[in-house]
Amino acid sequence: MSNKTPENSAEKIALVPSKEKSQNSLLTLLVVLIVVFLGFSILVYSFLNDRQIVVNNHKINVLVADTKDSRAKGLGGWNRLGKNQGMLFKYSGNGIYCVWMKDMKFNIDVIWISDNNKVVDIKENLSPDTYPEVFCPNKDAKYFLEIPSGSVSKFGIRVNDNISIDR
């Protein structure tokens, strides 16, 4: 016979979580983490594949910044760009659109592109240390493209090259 009373047994049961409850909590946490990770991955993937640019037979997946706010923010705060990734800044017409390195954490190359998809100017290896300096093209452009530093040289990009922008 046991000397436990029903009251003592109930207290012990209430104080010790059941194995089933613990497993359910872990399973729920795991499912939530997977859903959050997948959602974030899909969001990042869709942004970085928003458009595709082809220059000298090299494909670059770009996020398009085509609003005042998205252009002002740009890549500021990003930790890096992946291989063959960039950000395309799009304007309604040709003009002198300048770049600064505010809140940047890595070096970039910048390519200005006219409305007829020709490279009109290039600045290579711009450093976050240059902020608040402003970099402007020598000619009017409708777009500029920010890509990882070294990409201009790697892809052999030059002024007057044609750029194909997937619309």
What is the pTM assigned to this prediction?
0.70
Q: What is the pLDDT of residue 48?
A: 46
pLDDT in tens, 50-109: 889 999 999 999 999 999 999 999 999 999 999 899 999 999 999 999 999 999 999 999
Q: Is residue 156 within 8 Å of residue 148, measured between CB atoms?
A: no
Which 3 state secondary structure label does DSSP give 27?
A: helix
* Strand partners for 10: none
Task: Give the span between the Cα atoms of 62 and 50, in whole angstroms.
Answer: 6
Q: What is the pLDDT of residue 26?
A: 77
Longest alpha-carbon distance in the chain: 96
Q: What ranges make up the beta strands (E) of 81-139?
A: 85-95, 99-100, 108-113, 119-126, 134-135
Q: What is the CATH number of domain 51-165?
A: 2.60.120.1140
pLDDT in tens, 25-53: 777 777 777 766 665 554 554 444 488 99
Task: Give the span between the Cα atoms of 61 and 151, in whole angstroms.
Answer: 13
Task: Give the span between the Cα atoms of 138 and 132, in whole angstroms.
Answer: 19
Closest residue by Cα to residue 103 from 81, 82, 143, 72: 72
**Sequence spans of domains, the chain:** 6-46, 51-165
